[in-house]
Amino acid sequence: MILYLMRHADAGTFRGNPLLDSKRGLVKEGKEQCMLMARLLSALRAQVELVVSSPLKRALQTAQLVGTELGYDAKVEISPALGPDATFADFQEMLADYAGRDSILVVGHNPNTFQFLGRLITGNGGAAIRMRKGSIARVDLDHHPARLQWLIDPRSARAIYSSITKSSRPKTSRK
């Protein structure tokens, strides 16, 4: 199975009250990050069979925006195994539930997201991987330990897009 592991996009400032924080939605920059990352996944010809999200609003919005842009028309599934308090055992159990799928996109939170990624690719959690808001990692779960194929954040995606939209022809003077 191919796992696209994504950290939710920018949702502004953390709120001290956990109940209010769980209802925090994406800000404008976060929505733009979702569109950018979805375009990137499309350009990389990512095929997503299922989209699963944390129950928190910002992750669900990220999953819905990216899924819609990729042409995913089914309902986004919600799993507490992607929530901020989830354990790696919860995450593994969720992956086992979807083992028959070819590829899934899951959207969660830090620090869980990068900890889960580190545990997947090392088998013991020895890797410290930074995932900025809106980052997506492609992981091939058919190997043990799983193989990280790529990790791209919105900042890198913007740089890639701006470099390929510029003309590759050198400028010449018109004298």
Burial class (CB in 10 A: 0-12, 13-18, 19+), 132: middle
Q: Which residue range(s) make up the domain with 124?
A: 2-162
The C-alpha angle with vertex 1 and arms to 98 and 112, in degrees rounded to 5, equals 70
φ, ψ dihedrals at 157, nearest 5°: -60, -40
174 assigned to some structural domain: no
Q: How many domains does the chain have?
A: 1
42 assigned to some structural domain: yes
Is the pTM for the entire model greater than 0.85?
Answer: yes
139 assigned to some structural domain: yes
92 assigned to some structural domain: yes
175 assigned to some structural domain: no
Lowest mean pLDDT among 15-24, 87-96, 130-139: 15-24
3-state secondary structure of 111: coil
List the CATH number of the domain containing 137: 3.40.50.1240
131 assigned to some structural domain: yes
172 assigned to some structural domain: no
171 assigned to some structural domain: no
- Model pLDDT for residues 89-131, shown as the tens digit of each residue: 999 999 999 999 999 999 999 888 999 999 999 877 667 788 9
Q: How many CB atoms lie within 10 A of CB 85?
A: 9
- Report whether pLDDT(175) > 90: no
The C-alpha angle with vertex 63 and arms to 121 and 10, in degrees rounded to 5, equals 85
